Structure 1
Amino acid sequence: MAERKGLVMVNTGDGKGKTTAALGLVLRASGYGWRILIIQFIKSGKGYSEFEAAGKLPGVEIRATGQGLIRPGADRTSHREAARQGWEMARDEVASGRWDLIVLDEINIAMRMGFVDPDEVAQLIKDKPPSLHLVLTGRDCPEKIMDLADMVTVMEARKHHADNGVAAQKGVEF
Structure 2
Amino acid sequence: MTDNTERHNAKMAKKKAARDKIMATKTEEKGLVIVHTGKGKGKSSAAFGMIFRCIAHDMPCAVVQFIKGGMSTGERDLILGNFADRCAFHTMGEGFTWETQDKSRDIEMAQAAWAKAKELILDETNRMVLLDEINIAIRYDYIDVAEVVDFLKTQKPPMTHVVLTGRNARDELIEIADLATEMELLKHPFRAGVKAQAGVEF
TM above 0.5: yes
- Identify which range, 152-161 or 55-64, moves more after superposition: 55-64
- Residues 1-174 of structure 1: pairs in structure 2 closer than 5 A: 4-55=29-80, 56-57=82-83, 59-71=86-98, 74-127=101-154, 128-174=156-202
Distance 2:161 2:186 in 1: 30
For the pair shown, the structure with the greater C-alpha radius of gyration is: 2
TM-score (norm 1): 0.92
- Identify which range, 144-153 or 96-105, moves more after superposition: 96-105
8 A contact 1:23–1:54 mirrored in 2: no
Cα deviations by residue, 1:68-109 (Å, 9 ceiling, x for unpaired): 132179221111101101111112222232311000111100
Cα deviations by residue, 1:81-139 (Å, 9 ceiling, x for unpaired): 01101111112222232311000111100100111100011012102000001100011
Distance 1:79 1:108 in 2: 14
Tell me the percent identity.
Answer: 38
Which structure features the higher share of helix residues? 2
- Identify which range, 54-63 or 139-148, moves more after superposition: 54-63
Distance 2:57 2:38 in 1: 29
- DSSP 3-state at the match of 1:38: strand
8 A contact 2:100–2:106 mirrored in 1: no
- Identify which range, 159-168 or 136-145, moves more after superposition: 159-168
TM-score (norm 2): 0.80
Aligned letter for 2:133? E
Distance 1:94 1:73 in 2: 28
Distance 1:64 1:80 in 2: 15
8 A contact 1:45–1:51 mirrored in 2: no
Gaps spanning 5+ residues in structure 2: where? 1-26
Distance 1:7 1:94, change over 3 A: same
Gaps spanning 5+ residues in structure 1: where? none
